Amino acid sequence: VIRGPHVMQGYWRNEAATERALRPGPNPWEKVLYTGDLFRTDEDGFLYFVGRKDDIIKTRGEKVAPKEVEAVLHAHPGITEAVVVGVPDPLLGHAIGALVIRSDPTLSEKDVMRHCARHLEDFMVPKIIEFPLELPKT
């Protein structure tokens, strides 16, 4: 939750999004911004970003929707299943990670990265790719 004089007034022409994000603050004239970001506080009072309430991954200052990356992965003929997750990273906030079930056993991490790089912005390309035997379903 963010409050103060520099909090936005709302989303341009999107009243529904504004109502979800801005809520009444402790003072009658004030609105507070609910960002959806989750933080933890250490013993010295420093805040550390740990994730989001929604399915957006923040990496390199950008927002990535895992479903967009998964759609590109699923389009590869050597991939039968894939899931994209945010992996905590001290420099990036979160790195984009992909768990890939391959139908082609010769498919390598570099092959997957090259495929993604042809279809996605650089910040959306998975930096970590693993090939488990199956994906967890629960």
Identify the weakest region by mean pLDDT among 11-15, 128-132, 133-137.
133-137
Q: What is d(CA 49, CA 52) in angstroms, rounded to the nearest whole number?
A: 9
SS3 137: coil
Predicted local distance difference test score (pLDDT) of residue 75: 97
Category of 96 on φ-ψ map: left (φ > 0), alpha (ψ -120 to 50) or beta: beta
Under CATH, which architecture does the 57-130 domain have? 2-Layer Sandwich (3.30)
Residue keyed to tokens 């009444």: 24
Where exactly are the structural domains of the chain?
Answer: 2-52, 57-130
Burial 6-32 (b: 16+ CB within 10 A, else e): ebeeeeeeeeeeeeebbeeeeeeeebb
**pLDDT above 90 (res 38):** no
